[in-house]
Chains A and B, each alone.
Chain A
Amino acid sequence: MTHWIAYPHKMRNQSERDVVDENDEWGVERFRHVAHPCATAPLKAALAPALGRSWSLVLLAVLLLVVSVANSDEPVGSIQELRGTVEVFRAAKAIAAAVGIFVMLGDRIETRADSEVTLMLRGGTRLMLGEDSTMIIDRHFVENETHIQTTMRLLLGKLRSWVNDTGGGGSVNFEVHTPNGVAAVRGTDFEVDFIEGKPCPADPSCLRYTTVGVYQGVVVVANPTGPAGSPPVTVTAGYETTIPCESPPTPPSRWGAEELRAPGYH
């Protein structure tokens, strides 16, 4: 059985993705499109000769909306644990978050202070969104519980991910995007932070940065907004990397060492 749910920015060059506002890749309010190009292209081709141009466009828009709504109903997972105040925004409407409710593709999930939420996705991947954080699941594709492709955006705050490696018998492509970083993994446990308004430890002149720390496994980290040709960094368990603004990721360093100061003699 295949649960497809396609998505977003990777498909923006497809003709079927016209509901997406291309002016704001990270503007979640505008990110409404849910459709699969393979499902709509034959319809579009078949209807065009039979109808006038304007009517065909109107009909196409209606069909896209129907397909879109149908696909939006496909849950990508559910809320497993919840603490504090958590809001789910679906089609610009706020939904009361509660344990057990489904999470749909494109839902924007926001946590407030002293709050966190844990999601269980189809395929067994678990996500924990920390306090004062915002995320969107853009893409989640599960085939036979063995081939899993997931892409999500962390707009602010902290996201920890336990990625199901399917027992080694399948393939997993799991990516977390922040405004200035991409962490791609398979079968691992890691944490991504995107922080705005605070000096980056690796470059205090930068006030917008991503950190990636790895609990288990290996994570490849890159900055797509960085200088062309800057190589990705491979981060192993117990290490972290920082991506300051448009700079490449720093070399991995011991996770937490910067917090250490002198031993207490006082």
Chain B
Amino acid sequence: MHHRSSSGSALFRVGAVIVLLALWSGRAPAGTGGDFFTLQQPGHLGLTVFTSGFGSDTYATTAAGFQLEQSVTRYVGLVGRVSAFQVYQGKGYNSPFVTESTGVRTYERFEGGVDLTPVSGISLVVLGGHDVGNSNAPVIEGDFSGWLFPYSPYPLNLSFSSTHFFENAVTSNQIDLRTVAYGTARWLLLLGGGGAVWGGGTVGKPNGQGGPDVGLFLRELHTSIDVQSGYGSSHLYGLASVSVSFGWDE
């Protein structure tokens, strides 16, 4: 019960951040008028395929999966996400296990929820689901992304993700702040910094890690490539991820 409260608190903080960003960003408010519940016509189906890997001398894991998103109204969409995880050794920021892995452990995560777009350029995805495999317990997650100063040459992207693993009762939070450092019509280079803080449950006191981010977005291919390296509770680490998006109007 305690862990549910901490996750709820994290989501509340995300909500507060959204309101602040809405005031800062200068974007058009999305919830004006009486059309909040009007179905979006035509609808839009989005598919994102992603893979990532994290490595340090104390923790190593890879993940891959896909996410489907179906628009419902202009401000609300339904999200389904399927992920497959492999943990090769140790414990780290996104490990749901109670004990450290000494061999390869695998599990799949099935999540569903909603994507809220209260303000153009800002999204909050709230998911709930269940792990199946070597981890076998519920999980809840909130992912936030928002842009500040979108009309400046260096717009800022703030992203925040919070996940609670019921398997080990740990809550993990990741945060990133990035800017478009350089861009052409075909690609954008993003630079920034970020990291993770996780604790509670079997981890106990908060652990942390952080370092600089470098991102490359290929606009015409709808492909994001992100790398991060840093230092923290998992010692020196490296993280790389790739995602590709597709979309269809219905």
A residues with a Cβ closer than 8 A to B are 197-199, 201-205, 213-216, 237-238, 250-266
Residue of B nearest to A251 (CB): B151
Which of B9-17, B98-106, B199-207, B241-249 has 4 or more CB atoms under 8 Å from chain A?
A: B241-249
- 14 example contacts (A-B, Cβ-Cβ < 8 A) are as follows A198-B249, A203-B120, A253-B150, A256-B217, A256-B219, A257-B155, A260-B215, A260-B224, A261-B143, A262-B160, A262-B176, A264-B226, A265-B52, A266-B63
Q: A254 — which chain B residues lie within 8 A by C-beta? A: 150, 153, 155, 180, 183, 188
Distance from A214 Cβ to chain B, minimum over Cβ atoms (Å): 7
Interface of A is mostly: loop
**Contact assessment for A263 and B215 in the assembled complex, using a CB-CB cutoff below 8 Å:** yes
Option from A202, A251, A253 in Cβ contact (under 8 Å) with B28: A202
* Bound-complex Cα distance A262 to B186 (A): 19
**Contact assessment for A203 and B28 in the assembled complex, using a CB-CB cutoff below 8 Å:** yes
**Contact assessment for B180 and A205 in the assembled complex, using a CB-CB cutoff below 8 Å:** no
**Contact assessment for B219 and A255 in the assembled complex, using a CB-CB cutoff below 8 Å:** yes
**Contact assessment for A263 and B176 in the assembled complex, using a CB-CB cutoff below 8 Å:** yes
B residues with a Cβ closer than 8 A to A are 27-28, 30, 32-33, 35, 40-42, 44, 50-52, 63, 65, 74-75, 81, 83, 94, 120-121, 123, 143-145, 147, 150-151, 153, 155, 157, 159-161, 174, 176, 178, 180, 183-186, 188, 190, 194, 196, 213, 215, 217, 219, 222, 224, 226, 228, 239, 241-243, 245, 249
Q: A204-B30, A204-B120, A259-B245 given. 11 additional CB < 8 A pairs?
A: A199-B40, A201-B120, A202-B27, A203-B28, A204-B28, A257-B150, A257-B188, A258-B121, A260-B215, A263-B226, A266-B241
* Bound-complex Cα distance A100 to B164 (A): 61
Q: A205 — which chain B residues lie within 8 A by C-beta? A: 28, 32-33, 35
Option from B42, B83, B145 in Cβ contact (under 8 Å) with A198: B42
The 8 A-B residue pairs with the shortest CB-CB distance, nearest first, are A262-B159, A256-B219, A264-B241, A263-B226, A251-B151, A215-B185, A261-B145, A262-B145
**Contact assessment for A262 and B161 in the assembled complex, using a CB-CB cutoff below 8 Å:** yes
Q: A201 — which chain B residues lie within 8 A by C-beta? A: 120-121
**Contact assessment for A262 and B143 in the assembled complex, using a CB-CB cutoff below 8 Å:** yes
* Bound-complex Cα distance A262 to B245 (A): 13
**Contact assessment for A259 and B145 in the assembled complex, using a CB-CB cutoff below 8 Å:** no
**Contact assessment for A265 and B185 in the assembled complex, using a CB-CB cutoff below 8 Å:** no
Option from A198, A202, A257 in Cβ contact (under 8 Å) with B120: A202
* Bound-complex Cα distance A260 to B157 (A): 9
Q: A256 — which chain B residues lie within 8 A by C-beta? A: 183, 188, 217, 219
Q: B144 — which chain A residues lie within 8 A by C-beta? A: 262
* Bound-complex Cα distance A260 to B120 (A): 13
* Bound-complex Cα distance A215 to B215 (A): 21
Residue of B nearest to A132 (CB): B249
**Contact assessment for A259 and B217 in the assembled complex, using a CB-CB cutoff below 8 Å:** yes
Residue of B nearest to A264 (CB): B241
* Bound-complex Cα distance A258 to B148 (A): 11
Q: A265 — which chain B residues lie within 8 A by C-beta? A: 52, 94, 161, 174, 196, 239, 241
* Bound-complex Cα distance A213 to B220 (A): 12
Q: A252 — which chain B residues lie within 8 A by C-beta? A: 151
**Contact assessment for A258 and B150 in the assembled complex, using a CB-CB cutoff below 8 Å:** yes
Option from B41, B44, B194 in Cβ contact (under 8 Å) with A263: B194
Q: B147 — which chain A residues lie within 8 A by C-beta? A: 257-258
Option from A250, A255, A266 in Cβ contact (under 8 Å) with B183: A255
* Bound-complex Cα distance A98 to B62 (A): 49
**Contact assessment for B174 and A199 in the assembled complex, using a CB-CB cutoff below 8 Å:** no
Instruction: Known A205-B33, A205-B35, A261-B123; judge A255-B242 contact (CB<8 A).
Output: no
**Contact assessment for B184 and A263 in the assembled complex, using a CB-CB cutoff below 8 Å:** no
Option from A197, A202, A237, A266 in Cβ contact (under 8 Å) with B185: A237
Option from B42, B83, B176, B213 in Cβ contact (under 8 Å) with A266: B83
**Contact assessment for A259 and B185 in the assembled complex, using a CB-CB cutoff below 8 Å:** no
Residue of A nearest to B243 (CB): A264
* Bound-complex Cα distance A171 to B76 (A): 49
* Bound-complex Cα distance A237 to B153 (A): 12
* Bound-complex Cα distance A254 to B217 (A): 12
Residue of B nearest to A205 (CB): B33
Q: B190 — which chain A residues lie within 8 A by C-beta? A: 260
